């Protein structure tokens, strides 16, 4: 099984960097990331989360640092309201790297995918 590491650049989202003074004089810096402007889903359940849907694509030219790029995945109705230029301008917000053991490939239920399993052959072995 392979391991995957991922980095997300939160500054690629629409944001405002802010600094808040504390009572003891310390300054705490952070990002304000508005939900609506970034298509962040806010759960209405008590203690619910805030979610952003992501999708990763194979890099055309993988590097030692990254095998995939990550973009935000938008709902179909949101995407259809965008112009082609707006869709193309969606930033790459991160990357991921598959590393470790051999990359996992989707397993087929049939060990011989080009051959049809015939249960009438009297074979005791199942094809998985």
98-116: pLDDT as tens digits? 887 544 444 444 445 445 5
Residue-level pLDDT at 121: 56
Residue-level pLDDT at 117: 46
Instruction: Look at residue 61 and tell me if it is in a domain.
Output: yes
Q: What domain range is 7 assigned to? A: 2-108
Region 121-128: mean pLDDT is: 48
Pairing of strands 50-51, 54-58: unpaired
Instruction: Look at residue 114 and tell me if it is in a domain.
Output: no
Is 93:71 a contact under the CB 8 Å cutoff?
yes
Give the total number of structural domains in the chain.
1
35-73: pLDDT as tens digits? 999 999 999 988 889 999 999 999 888 877 888 999 999
pLDDT band at residue 15 under the 50/70/90 scheme:
very high
pLDDT band at residue 22 under the 50/70/90 scheme:
confident
State CA 53 to chain mean position distance.
6
Distance, CA of 128 to CA of 124 (rounded, Å): 12
Instruction: Look at residue 117 and tell me if it is in a domain.
Output: no
Instruction: Look at residue 126 and tell me if it is in a domain.
Output: no
Distance, CA of 64 to CA of 8 (rounded, Å): 17
Residue-level pLDDT at 63: 79
């Amino acid at each position: 099984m392979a391991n995957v590491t991922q980095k997300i650049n939160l500054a690629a989202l629409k944001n405002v960097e802010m600094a808040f003074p504390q009572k003891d004089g310390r300054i705490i810096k952070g990002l304000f990331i508005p939900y609506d402007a970034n298509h962040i889903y806010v759960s209405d359940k008590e203690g619910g989360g805030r979610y952003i849907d992501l999708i990763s694509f194979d890099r055309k030219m993988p590097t030692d640092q990254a095998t995939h790029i990550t973009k935000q995945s938008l709902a179909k109705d949101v995407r259809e309201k965008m112009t082609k230029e707006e869709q193309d301008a969606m930033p790459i917000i991160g990357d991921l790297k598959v590393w470790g053991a051999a990359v996992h490939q989707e397993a087929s239920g049939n060990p011989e995918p080009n051959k049809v399993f015939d249960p009438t052959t009297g074979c005791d072995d199942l094809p998985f």
